[in-house]
Amino acid sequence: MIKSSHFYFARHGQTDANIQAVMCGGEWDIELNDTGIAQARAATSLLANAQHGIKSICSSPMKRALKTAHILNEVLSVPVAVVDELREWEVGDWSRKPYHQLPNFFRGDGDPPNGESRSEFDARIARALSLSLQSEDPVLIVSHGCVWHVITKLLNIPGGLIENVSIHKVGHDGAQAEKRIWQSEKMLTTAV
């Protein structure tokens, strides 16, 4: 499935839905707020000063992720590919509901009514990861919190929660594909 020995993952910058603590799934294409733009800009200075060797970016098509990707690319100057499968989980009736009114989706409590089932979402993200990692590596994937949660589950690495514009390096030990041990290391976090 994955030819790369490592890749990077960044969650999009802050949106008003993040501040309001409401579920913002794939059916709500919300923009970054001013803080989210500032977070992405702060990350560019951190990326510019680091030797990550990122050669391509794969981004969700959603406005909040794509804007973050384009801001980060101001210092990387690499090709950006939009991967539709990287969009956020379609959460149906859970959309725009306060988190405290929803089941704990990180523990696997139920599927969203009128949304994408967990198994459908997991399969889509497995495809998205495979597609993204066919890009020139190392690749930076810019996407969403629930996408990161599924990637950590697929690769059996800890850390299902991710902050806005937190960048993680994900790599494996080089063993055969079926025996690879993947690890995640937080590289950059912006505090804006």
What's the pLDDT tens digit per position in 67-86?
A: 999 999 999 999 999 999 99
Question: Of 1-15, 133-147, 149-163, which range is least confident?
Answer: 1-15
**For residue 111, is it within any domain?**
yes
Taking CA atoms, 112 is separated from 11, 63, 108, in Å, by 22, 23, 11
> Does the annotation count 88 as an active-site position?
yes
Largest CA-CA distance found in the chain, in angstroms, rounded: 45
In terms of pLDDT, which residue wins out, 179 or 149?
149
pTM of the model: 0.90
Q: What b/e string do you get for 52-85 counting C-beta neighbours within 10 Å, with b at 16 or more?
A: bebebbbbbebebbbbbbebbbebbebebbebeb
Q: Hey, what's the torsion of the CAs at 105, 179, 57, 189, to 10 degrees?
A: 60
Residue 170 has pLDDT above 80, yes or no: yes
For residue 79, give the H/E element and its range. Answer: none
**For residue 63, is it within any domain?**
yes
> With bands split at pLDDT 50, 70 and 90, how would you rate the model's confidence at 53?
confident
Rounded mean pLDDT, 144-171: 90
Domain that holds residue 48: 6-188
What pLDDT sits at residue 71?
A: 97
**For residue 85, is it within any domain?**
yes
In terms of pLDDT, which residue wins out, 134 or 182?
134
**For residue 1, is it within any domain?**
no
Rounded mean pLDDT, 54-68: 97
Selecting among 88, 90, 116, 149, the annotated active-site residue is: 88
> With bands split at pLDDT 50, 70 and 90, how would you rate the model's confidence at 190?
low
What pLDDT sits at residue 113?
A: 95
> With bands split at pLDDT 50, 70 and 90, how would you rate the model's confidence at 1?
very low
Domain count, the chain: 1
Contact yes or no for 81/75 (Cβ under 8 A): no
Please report, for the domain that includes residue 58, its CATH number: 3.40.50.1240
In terms of pLDDT, which residue wins out, 152 or 184?
152
Contact yes or no for 81/59 (Cβ under 8 A): yes
> With bands split at pLDDT 50, 70 and 90, how would you rate the model's confidence at 121?
very high
Taking all residues of the chain, what is their mean pLDDT, rounded to a whole number?
88
Selecting among 6, 12, 144, 149, the annotated active-site residue is: 12
